[in-house]
Structure 1
Amino acid sequence: MQLQVARIGKPHGIRGEVTVQVLTDAPEDRFVPGTEFVVEPASAGPLIVSSARWNKDILLLGFEEIATRNDAETLRGAKLFIETEELDEDDDEGWYEHELVGLEARVGSQVVGKVAALNTMPVQDLLVVTTPGGEEILIPFVEQIVPEVNIEEGFVLLTPPDGLFELNSDQDAGAGPESKA
């Protein structure tokens, strides 16, 4: 299985560097020279990192296969993936989107929806939970609100503060646990 770790943005300079939207918590480990990425679309890769540097808060990558700004322009919007076999098995502190998508979202023993996505944001990540009625609820992915993730049993436990489901809902009835009998 592959895990997306970045999306390529616009070219930077004339030597083929590109800006990168980082989608991993460990960019210093993922984007070192010599690292090979699977690329989507496949016609753009694979790509091997030749340089990685930060310009303020933006990661700039150079690739062995890309030498000019024009070449770099062809990569705009491409997605960079690693093989999950390369991941650190001792990483018990985090989860990847592919592990969370499809898990039941529970409040107590009641199923209130399924995890549809993980939105990686600068301040905190958000779980996107789809309710049985088809609504999307955004849940801050913090320990106080999501105290348990049980991959083996297929669920995340939610302890939402009052009003969280209603805040995210277009309907007065809401999708919260109190609306189900």
Structure 2
Amino acid sequence: MIDSHSLEPIGTLGKPHGVQGECNARLTVDLAALFEEEERLFLFFELDALLVPFRLIGYREKSSEVSLLRFVGIDSKEAMERYSGVPLLMEKRYLEDESLEFTWEHFIGFTVFDRDGSSVGTISDLDDSTLNTLLSITTPEGQEILLPVAEDLVVDMDVARRTLTLIIPDGLLQL
């Protein structure tokens, strides 16, 4: 039996695309590698506080920010319309696959640690409107700090524990 503790939010279903039941989705995980490898990949819709599994039978990228998804049993635009705006979840065990790529948005809610193991705080938001992506982190004391981030600064990420360990240049947290 699947419970909410074994699932991780990975995005939201958008509007239908075409007339065959396909839909737009903004995902925080690139599912391409999983979709190719897994024979039966199920994603979960959160419907009226219930987690309902749907088998993914179609996945392709529409743009760098939007994917197109298709599920068993949803074969028309009208059938897909009722799921627009529904949160989409995936079993955490799949997210441990080293080949998966995540967007920075996926890490909202994760606890950030410096490479020396000290807790910095929890990621509350991100700003990717400029060339430098900034993580908005709420410290244990309740302060908000903005931390520039790049893939090269990630030492470790543990999706199961929802932690991110980063190389943080000396003095940056004291600004």
TM, length-normalised to structure 1: 0.63
Q: Secondary structure at the match of 2:14?
A: strand
Are the equivalent residues in 1 in contact too, given 2:15–2:24 (CA < 8 A)? yes
Looking at secondary structure, tell me which structure has more strand per residue: 2
Q: 1:47 pairs with 45, 54, 75, which one?
A: 54
Q: Conserved in 2, the CA contact under 8 Å of 1:44 and 1:75?
A: no
SS in 2 for 1:46: strand
Distance 2:16 2:54 in 1: 15
Displacement of 1:159 in angstroms is 1.0
Cα distance change, pair 156–36 in 1 and its aligned pair in 2 (3 A): same
Q: Could you tell me which amino acid in structure 1 is paired with residue 75 of structure 2? A: A
Is the Cα contact below 8 Å between 2:32 and 2:60 reproduced in 1? no
TM-score w.r.t. the length of structure 2 is 0.64
The unaligned stretches of length 5 or more in structure 1 are 165-175
Given residue 50 of structure 1, which amino acid in structure 2 is its aligned partner? I
Partner of 1:29 in structure 2?
33
Question: Greater Rg, structure 1 or structure 2?
Answer: 1
Q: Distance in 1 between matches of 2:32 and 2:144?
A: 33
Larger RCO (alpha carbons 8 Å, 6+ apart): 2
8 Å contact from structure 1 (residues 3, 82) kept in 2: yes
The match for 2:111 is 102
Identify which of 20, 25, 30 aligns with 1:20: 25
Tell me the residue number matched to 1:158: 168
Closer/same/farther in 2, CA of residues 12 and 82 from structure 1, 3 Å limit: same
| Partner in structure 2 of residue 73 of structure 1 | 81
Shift of 1:128: 2.8
RMSD: 4.1
Tell me how far apart the structure 2 counterparts of residues 53 and 43 of structure 1 sit (CA, whole Å).
27
Post-superposition offset of 1:27: 2.5
Unaligned 5+ residue runs, structure 2?
1-5
Q: State the alpha-carbon separation in 2 of the partners of residues 92 and 21 from structure 1.
A: 16
Q: In the alignment, is the contact (CA less than 8 A) between 2:35 and 2:41 conserved in 1?
A: yes
CA distance in 1, matches of 2:100, 2:58: 29
| Distance (Å, rounded) in 2 between the aligned partners of 1:3 and 1:20 | 16
Give a deviation string over 1:121-170, Cα, whole Å, max 9, x none: 597754331135533323232256x464486998644117x8x7xxxxxx
Which of 138, 149, 173 is the aligned partner of 1:141?
149
The 8 Å contact of residues 59 and 70 in structure 2, kept in 1 or not, is answered as: yes
Aligned residue-pair number:
160
